[in-house]
Amino acid sequence: MSIVKIKDKTFQTSISEAEIKQRIKELAKQVSHDMEGKNPLFLGVLNGSFIFAADLMREMTIPCEISFVKLASYQGTTSTGKVKEVIGINENLTGRSVIIVEDIVDTGATMKQMVESLGTRNPASIDICTLFVKPDKLKEPLDIKYAAFSIPNDFIVGYGLDYDQQGRNLKEIFTLVEE
């Protein structure tokens, strides 16, 4: 088990790179099956999902497209619950099968706003694909169709997830060690 120090916090390995890659392959297979013939548009939520979105796209076996949106609801290690759109969506979503690709669904506030915003653009469907979900922390009712891992209410970094913009480059997932 590896230990890393990021700024003033200590983290230890909780999910290996091999486990992450295996779950992404399984998710891509499921999404490819479900979306066969629909040419889905994947919308990656920046910054956290960029590594997950790239690896997911490489495993997709059907025609599909990808774009990115940037929303924010985090400050340090806690969700502020206030979402602001930073970079918008330029694609025409009318009649499209849209899959939101997120790194982690925590309270669900960010995802709820994103789904509501996309819904006004008349897509055929909106599905959520997340690397991590914290079921015990969810405050919003969400239908999360694709989730690689359900995790406890711990703060994690690595594989695109950060602590104050640090740690995104780590290949494994590290959990905050309470000191």
* Model pLDDT for residues 79-124, shown as the tens digit of each residue: 555 665 546 788 899 999 999 999 999 999 889 988 988 999 999 9
Considering the candidates 8, 34, 103, 106, report the single residue annotated as catalytic: 106
Mind listing the pLDDT tens digit of every residue in the chain (179 residues)?
Answer: 799 999 999 999 999 999 999 999 999 999 999 999 999 999 999 989 999 999 999 999 999 999 999 875 555 555 555 665 546 788 899 999 999 999 999 999 889 988 988 999 999 999 999 999 999 999 988 999 999 999 999 999 999 999 999 999 999 999 999 86
User: Can you give the residue ranges of every domain in the chain?
Assistant: 3-176
* Number of residues assigned to the chain: 179
pTM for the model stands at: 0.91
d(CA 87, CA 107): 21
pLDDT attached to residue 33? 99
pLDDT attached to residue 86? 44
Q: Among this protein's residues, is 103 annotated catalytic?
A: no
Nearest to 96 by CA among 117, 123, 121, 69: 123
SS (H, E, C) the chain: CCEEEECCEEEEEEECHHHHHHHHHHHHHHHHHHCCCCCCEEEEEECCCHHHHHHHHHHCCCCCEEEEEEEEEEECCEEEEEEEEEECCCCCCCCCEEEEEEEEECCCHHHHHHHHHHHCCCCCEEEEEEEEECCCCCCCCCCCCEEEEECCCCCEEECCECECCECCCCCCEEEECCC
CA 3 centroid distance within chain: 24
> Could you tell me which CATH number the domain at 3-176 has?
3.40.50.2020
pLDDT attached to residue 14? 98
